[in-house]
Amino acid sequence: MKKYSILTFLLTIWLSAQVFAQSGDKALARMNRDAQNTMRYKEYATAINIYDQLLKAKPEDLEYNYQMGVCYLNSQKRKESLKYFQKVYDANPNYNPTLEMMMGQAKHYQGNFAEAKDHYAKAKTNLEKYKGELAAAKMKKKERAKKIAETEDLIKSCDKKIQECEVGMKLVAEPINANVENLGSGVNTQYPEYTPLIPKDTSFLVFTSRREGGVGNKKDWQDDMYFEDIYQAKPSNNTWGSSQSLNVNKKFHDAAAEISSDGKTMFLYRDDPKTKGDLYVTQFDAATNQWGEAKKLNSNINTKYQETALALSTDGNTMYFASDRPGGTGGLDIYMSKKEANGDWGPATNLGSPINTSYDDDAPFLSFDGKTLYFSSKGHNNMGGYDIFKSEQNGDKWSEPKNMGTPINGADDDVHLVLTEDNKTGFYVSADESGYGDKDIYTLTAPKLSLLKLDKTGLKITPPGLLAIDSLKERRKIDFEFLVLYDFDRSNLRPASKESCDRLIKYLERNPDIRIEVSGHTCDIGTKQYNQVLSVARARAVANYLIERGVDANRIDVKGYNFEKPKEPNTSNENRMRNRRAEFEVKE
């Protein structure tokens, strides 16, 4: 299921006429034209390969760097775009009217909301000035009207992006108290994995992957990635075993869409030569241990437009699905259909407000009790890309959707949340850099023993009881290494860091009457305000890990010190890496 950004597509079309060879070298000029042609057809992976060669020949060429940034911004590796835009920006911040917008988007995907917001504000000013210049420019009336309309769309996008950054700064400062863990190498690979689905008994997991070695083992020319296939994994010893390809897969796109509560009916998405993608259904045959031939759903569900993910009620009689058919609120909208007496699906009804927005609303999931709808949206109060929202059903109406917050949501796409029947464990998809490569599937659990929500000021502390003085020194002796480091601009715990946290847990078990302060620290890259939020998130990641494993939340004080307490001078990349850390201190 492929979706493209209208914003970046408009920018590419708008700038393509301005791009020409800067060198007299005919070979480079020809390569540049080829790259521009591939970009017009949104073949960004091919364009990246071409610009890679161009940059090897002329690494300082600003246009090549700019266009490489645009390509990466439209790829699965969006965060790679920043270094190319930054090079152009450092050389000439007024290089073209959209550079500020590109810088904003690149920093937005990095999670640097404060700096991204500043770039978007400057971009809006530049675009409004450009709009005025267009009004006075000598050009055909239709061409002027088209460019002005495109510029107005970009200005509106700036307003939306500024709002997303404001939401992002607020939600990052107030994360929910949750434990997020990668499902591991049994499920995730260097390729994208997404749409996790589970039956009611959680006996297996079905998901979609675009990995090498699938049926056909061919790549989609549009994005140079392997076609989607559906896989299954089963739990084993508190982990997920090796995943297996399902027999329903064909040589083109096959993506998991929904699994029934009993695990015997599966819905899937397939590309259709005559449509943008349709939904199918298949039944599991226990006798053969295989899935049957998939059948296309009727015309009430499928149209010549795109139908993607769906959610099924526990009784199997109500379906919620996403479609971009005409008559909706915006792009993809969520629709509802009920099963009729003949067993087929009845007419689809758009859920309308407050669920659907003028942006894309996709990936519905209905709780097992049917009272809560979870879905992903680029609208509402999102913080960038798709965010996961939830809405409660009140009679025939749905409540105003609520953003699930961080760490579930981030600056990039966060989609496909599904929950177990007891609502204590969830599975969702994120493109977090700490994963195995591309989009990964994560599990989400709430710390069972937390007494209060962790907030940016820490927890209220319960005074400890009196201790015999002669026992304090030996008990409080710290005889282990605590080394918790973080990737740049991230707050997720690395596997190696969890080993240090486990040693701290044992120390706290030996000393049940002491409290600790967990402090988070950053390097000096970025603003003090942004790094303060990040440092608190890093400290909270350690605290959540401890609480989830039995440490009383009242024994932990959470503090963030941004870059005010560096362990090493911030004079090199190695030193900055050591400063991206968490520490603990025993409180007297």
Average per-residue pLDDT in the chain? 86
Q: Which residues 6+ apart lie within 8 Å of 527 measured at CB?
A: 114, 115
- Contacts (Cβ under 8 Å, ≥6 apart) of 132: none
**What pLDDT sits at residue 349?**
96
Give the model's confidence band at 181: pLDDT under 50 very low, under 70 low, under 90 confident, else very high.
confident
Q: Give the pLDDT band of residue 2 (cuts 50, 70, 90).
A: very low
Domain 469-587: homologous superfamily in CATH: OmpA-like domain (3.30.1330.60)
Using a cut of 0.85, tell me whether the model's pTM lies above it. Answer: no
Average pLDDT of 457-479? Answer: 49
- Say which CATH superfamily domain 6-173 falls into: Tetratricopeptide repeat domain (1.25.40.10)
Q: CA–CA separation, 75 vs 279, rounded Å? A: 26
Q: What digits encode the pLDDT tens for the residues 14-37? A: 444 444 434 457 888 888 888 888
Centre a 10 Å sphere on the Cβ of residue 18 and count the other Cβ atoms it contains: 9
- Is pLDDT of 210 > 70? yes
CATH pick for 192-445 out of 3.40.50.720, 1.10.4100.10, 2.40.30.10, 2.120.10.30: 2.120.10.30
How far is Cα 239 from Cα 391, in angstroms, rounded to an integer? 31
- Buried (b) or exposed (e) across 166-191, using 16+ Cβ within 10 A? ebbbbbbbebbbbbbebbbebbbbeb
Going from N- to C-terminal start, the domains of the chain cover: 6-173, 192-445, 469-587
Q: How far apart are CA 13 and CA 33, in angstroms?
A: 14
What confidence tens digit (pLDDT) does each residue in 320-370 have? 999 999 999 989 999 999 999 999 999 999 999 999 999 999 999 999 889
Q: How many whole angstroms separate alpha carbon 496 and alpha carbon 489?
A: 18
How much is the pLDDT for 446?
Answer: 64
Q: Is the pLDDT of residue 472 over 70?
A: no
